[in-house]
């Protein structure tokens, strides 16, 4: 799509179909191309070599003529491996359903390619002042709890606050407080005064602007991981 090529009418995604065929099974070599080839007893590029080529591609240019040649050979090896893999998988495929899943992958690819428009100017302002914003959030919320020190959540201070409020809190087998977000979420249902502290912890852990990938066109893009993630 980045090259402006037309989207094919029919798409057969072998990653998706391999996931479908092996769902719930133990895969000793994973569910990537190498794992699928191994599952069907086929040979492919060595894992270490594949990782090396992927790292080279992700590094970005400029590449030497030798590196360019190696990258092209690597891409060709993937294509030829897919042909062999398709021949092995074909007897087990439900083609109408496989093509339906392929249609979904086409839609997912378009969504990823479109991305989400981002106010780049506002984003840059947020990034510039993000530390101050975090500090201010902590200052406002932690005034009721006193469990942060230098911007860091302190378990011992939280334990003291729980004792003062007479709130029984779950412990781990290690004897330490269970500080997982699911625990905070559950406890906030019974003790609403915990909710603001939980929301603050979530905001501080998840709102990482440095991780927001925005292209030169001002659009944020993410990998949807269709048929890979549990929700997918």
Residues 109, 126: one domain?
no
> Among 86, 101, 116, where does a domain finish?
116
Query: How confident is the model at residue 47, as a pLDDT?
Result: 60
User: Residue 60: its pLDDT value, please?
Assistant: 78
Asked, for residue 227, whether it belongs to a domain, the answer is no
Long-range contact set of residues 142-145: C-beta below 8 Å, sequence gap at least 24: 142/197, 142/200, 144/193, 144/196, 144/197, 145/197
Beta bridge partner(s), residue 219: 117
Cα 195 to the center of its chain, rounded Å:
27
Q: Which residues of the chain have pLDDT under 50?
A: none
What pLDDT score was predicted for residue 230? 65
Residue 111 lies in a domain: yes
With beta carbons less than 8 A apart as the criterion, state whether 138 and 151 touch.
Answer: yes
Omega before residue 62 within 30° of 0, cis: yes
Instruction: Please check whether residue 9 lies inside any domain of the structure.
Output: no
**C-alpha dihedral over 3, 5, 8, 12, to 10 degrees?**
-20
Residue 104 placed within a domain: yes
Distance CA 92, CA 13 (A): 14
Contact (CB, 8 A) for 172 and 159: no
What tokens were used for 141? 């919320």
Residue 91 and residue 62 share a domain: yes
What is residue 96's predicted lDDT score, i.e. its pLDDT?
Answer: 96
Listed residues 70, 85, 116: the one ending a domain: 116
Query: Do 175 and 132 share a structural domain?
Result: yes
Same-domain status, 37 and 112: yes
CA 150 to mean position of chain CA atoms: 30
Q: Which helix (H) or strand (E) holds 219?
A: strand 219-220
Q: Are residues 84 and 170 in the same domain?
A: no
What average pLDDT does the structure give for the chain?
90
Query: Using only C-alpha atoms, what is the Rg of the chain?
Result: 25
> How many domains is the chain partitioned into structurally?
2
Q: Quick one: which of 216, 169, 160, 209 has its CA closest to 188?
A: 169
pLDDT per position as a tens digit, 127-156: 899 889 999 999 999 999 999 998 999 999
User: Is the same domain home to 139 and 109?
Assistant: no
**Which residue range forms the structural domain that includes residue 135?**
120-210
């Amino acid at each position: 799509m980045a090259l402006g090529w037309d989207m094919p009418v029919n798409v057969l995604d072998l990653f998706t179909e391999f996931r479908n065929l092996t769902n719930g099974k133990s895969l000793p070599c994973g569910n990537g191309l190498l794992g699928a080839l191994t599952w069907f007893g086929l040979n492919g590029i060595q894992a270490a070599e594949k990782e090396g080529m992927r790292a080279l591609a992700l590094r970005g240019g400029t590449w030497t003529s030798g590196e360019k040649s190696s990258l092209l050979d690597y891409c060709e090896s993937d294509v030829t491996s897919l042909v062999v893999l398709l021949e092995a998988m074909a007897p087990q495929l439900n083609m109408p359903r496989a093509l339906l899943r392929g249609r979904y992958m086409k839609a997912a690819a378009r969504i990823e390619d479109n991305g989400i428009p981002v106010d780049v100017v506002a984003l840059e302002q947020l990034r510039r002042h993000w530390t101050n914003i975090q500090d201010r959030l902590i200052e406002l919320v932690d005034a009721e709890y006193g469990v942060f020190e230098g911007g860091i959540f302190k378990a011992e201070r939280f334990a003291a606050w729980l004792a003062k409020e007479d709130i029984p809190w779950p412990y781990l087998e290690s004897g330490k407080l269970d500080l997982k977000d699911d625990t905070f979420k559950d406890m906030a249902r019974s003790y609403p005064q915990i909710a603001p502290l939980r929301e603050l912890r979530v905001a501080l852990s998840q709102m990482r602007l440095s991780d927001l990938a925005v292209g030169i066109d001002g659009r944020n893009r993410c990998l949807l991981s269709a048929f890979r993630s549990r929700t997918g």
